[in-house]
């Protein structure tokens, strides 16, 4: 068995960007404390360093 791979998403039909924030710093946009959005951005950034990649977990257990 070889190492894990995640299906490629290159070439996917586009999902229009939500809002163009490319000229903004991340910290500027999520600097207002523990909001849902700030929390999700934080999790997203952390997931980029996950050596196993993001996988879908067993639904009938929550942690």
Q: How far is the CB of 35 from another protein (least distance, A)?
A: 7
Q: Which two tokens stand for residue 48?
A: 């980029």
Is residue 51 part of the contact set for another protein (CB under 8 A)? yes
DSSP state of 57: P
Cα separation, 5 vs 53, whole angstroms? 9
Task: Check: CB of residue 54 under 8 Å from CB of residue 45.
Answer: no
Q: How far is the CB of 10 from another protein (least distance, A)?
A: 11
Which residues would be at the binding site for another protein (CB under 8 A)? Answer: 1-7, 9, 12-16, 18-19, 21, 24, 28-30, 32-37, 39-41, 43-44, 47, 51-63
């Amino acid at each position: 068995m070889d190492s894990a791979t995640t299906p490629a998403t290159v070439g996917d039909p586009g999902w229009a960007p939500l809002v163009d924030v490319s000229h903004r710093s991340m910290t500027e946009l999520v600097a207002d404390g523990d909001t849902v959005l700030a929390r999700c951005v934080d999790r997203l950034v952390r997931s980029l360093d996950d050596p196993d990649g993001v996988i879908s977990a067993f639904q009938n257990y929550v942690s």
